[in-house]
Structure 1
């Protein structure tokens, strides 16, 4: 994957679309986990959501740049 992508004549880092996709995927996983009731046993739901976003975006970045 190229390091930069041209969008309307401007170059953006390739990680930006990966982050947007990771945020959408994290939102879907978050809704699934909330419907299963996982957040009743999680100590700090906001911290769990932030770490889930970091893990998903990190995995996407590793999958693309490996």
Structure 2
């Protein structure tokens, strides 16, 4: 299994691509929580955002197919 993606000869790690996707997803979830008012129930927003990012990243790495060339 290769751990990188070739983009015009530049090798980009899959984890970096998944991290960017997880960051975008977690930001959208945080925005929705803030707009609905549920975000005010969270005691430590920065810690919650980090945990949400880790959970989304773990879910993406588990459910997306791995590239094996």
Fold-level similarity (TM above 0.5): yes
Distance 2:27 2:6 in 1: 26
Bigger RCO of structures 1 and 2 (CA < 8 A, at least 6 apart): 2
Q: How many residue pairs get matched?
A: 66
Q: Is the counterpart of residue 16 in structure 1 residue 13 in structure 2? A: no
**2:57 pairs with 1:57:** yes
Aligned to 1:7: 7
1:51 Cα deviation from its structure 2 partner: 0.4
Partners of 2:36 and 2:2 lie apart in 1 by: 38
RMSD value over aligned CA atoms? 1.8
Q: TM-score, normalised by structure 2?
A: 0.82
DSSP-derived class of the 2:30 partner: helix
- TM-score by length of structure 1 reads 0.85
Shift of 1:8: 2.9
